[in-house]
């Protein structure tokens, strides 16, 4: 199902965050019907750095192309600020759409941006963001490519200002609304109280972040349409990797950790090596040695 079809189905769309082909494949194999390509997770995994605007448009586009080549589920892509002005936004949308994005998320932070759950954010004007959204909508080749408008105004100007910006972003034509980092259950509930039924709403669950963490079912009851777990898989991976490395250093062997990891054949089964090798045999030189021109 397309992302638009999943939204119309009425059950909240759960989109774990991916950062490469393997993480996206694991998400798909776990039964999720959507993935979220997180700019933060790319910064964490590729650079070992924080989400402070270091990732470039081309690096996200390259990662997206690898992800969509490996999985068939829709992928929502974090486009940060669009990587520049309205003309940069158009280039970003075209590039991401060519690479297979089902939705492109744009935010109203100024450059350099930072993670929505870090302090010290600043904003562009609401008018400039409206211009970016209209540029994005004009640039897409298909209305199947959804444009997500994110505002980070709660942390900078408060909930009322965030609501006012969100109204303008809906008026501009955004397909999905993302009011980032509500700081209480009351704020989390106030967003769907205002916008439910008018536009699909996205929530971001971050362990240890600014927003109280709720289940997908609870968020659906509030009125949210999509929930992302942007860098949760990255945090889980980092925690497991620390435990593995500490165990390896203590024991000098992987034996104590063996029941918590895939072996060689197990990983190859996950990534489809037997099928890949079987398909490759179709093109072996011996199959074509007698072929005449």
pLDDT in tens, 112-139: 787 768 677 889 999 999 999 999 999 9
Q: Give the global pTM.
A: 0.95
Q: Does domain 3-232 have CATH number 3.40.50.700?
A: no
Mean pLDDT of 242-258: 98
The CA distance from 281 to 26, in Å, is 26
Distance CA 242, CA 197 (A): 44
What rounded mean pLDDT belongs to the chain?
95
What confidence score (pLDDT) does residue 288 get? 86
Looking at residue 290, what is its pLDDT? 67
Cα 43 from chain centre: 13
- 169 pLDDT band, cuts 50/70/90, is very high
Domain locations in the chain as residue ranges: 3-232, 238-285
User: Residue 76: its pLDDT value, please?
Assistant: 98
Which residue in 47, 283, 266, 242 sits closest to 60, CA to CA?
Answer: 47
Q: Quick check: 293 pLDDT over 70? A: no
- The answer to whether 205 and 211 have CB atoms below 8 angstroms apart is yes
Q: What are the pLDDT digits (tens) for 179-231?
A: 999 999 999 999 999 999 999 999 999 999 999 999 999 999 999 999 999 99
Task: Please tell me the distance from the alpha carbon of residue 256 to that of residue 288, in angstroms, as a whole number.
Answer: 49
Q: Are the C-beta atoms of residues 206 and 183 closer than 8 Å to each other?
A: no
Higher pLDDT, 246 or 287: 246
User: Which one, of 197, 163, 198, lies nearest residue 179 by Cα?
Assistant: 163
Backbone torsion region of residue 83, taken as left when φ is above 0, otherwise alpha when ψ lies between -120 and 50, otherwise beta: left
d(CA 237, CA 20): 13
At 208, list the tokens.
Answer: 């240890």
> Residue 292 — very low, low, confident or very high, per pLDDT cuts 50/70/90?
low
Q: What confidence tier does 18 reach under pLDDT thresholds 50, 70, 90?
A: very high
Per the CB < 8 A criterion, the answer to whether 41 and 233 are in contact is yes
Please report the pLDDT score of residue 58 as a whole number: 97
Model pLDDT for residues 88-103, shown as the tens digit of each residue: 999 999 999 999 999 9
């Amino acid at each position: 199902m397309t992302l638009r079809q999943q939204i119309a189905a009425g059950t909240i769309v759960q989109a774990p965050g991916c950062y490469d082909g393997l993480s996206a494949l694991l998400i798909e194999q776990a039964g999720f019907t959507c993935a979220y390509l997180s700019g933060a997770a790319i910064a964490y995994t590729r650079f070992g750095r924080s989400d402070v605007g270091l990732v470039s448009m081309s690096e996200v586009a390259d990662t997206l192309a690898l992800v969509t080549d490996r999985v068939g589920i829709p992928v929502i892509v974090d486009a940060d600020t669009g990587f520049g002005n309205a003309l940069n936004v158009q280039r970003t949308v075209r590039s991401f759409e060519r690479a297979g994005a089902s939705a492109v998320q744009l935010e109203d932070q100024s450059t350099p941006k930072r993670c929505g759950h870090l302090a010290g954010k600043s904003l562009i004007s609401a008018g400039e963001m409206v211009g970016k959204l209209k540029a994005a909508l004009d640039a897409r080749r298909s209305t199947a490519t959804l444009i997500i408008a994110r505002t980070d105004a709660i942390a900078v100007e408060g909930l009322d200002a965030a609501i006012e910006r969100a109204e303008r972003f809906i008026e501009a034509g955004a397909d999905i609304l993302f009011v980032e980092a509500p700081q209480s259950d009351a704020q989390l509930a106030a967003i769907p109280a205002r916008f439910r039924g008018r536009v699909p709403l996205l929530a971001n669950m971050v362990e240890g972040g600014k927003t109280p963490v709720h289940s997908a079912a609870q968020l659906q009851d509030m009125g949210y349409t999509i929930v992302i777990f942007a860098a949760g898989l990255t945090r889980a991976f980092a925690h497991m990797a620390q435990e593995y490395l500490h165990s390896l250093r203590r024991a000098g062997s992987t034996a104590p950790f063996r029941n918590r990891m895939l072996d060689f054949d197990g990983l190859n089964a996950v990534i489809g090596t037997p099928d890949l090798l079987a398909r490759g045999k179709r093109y072996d030189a011996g199959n074509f040695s007698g072929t005449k021109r």
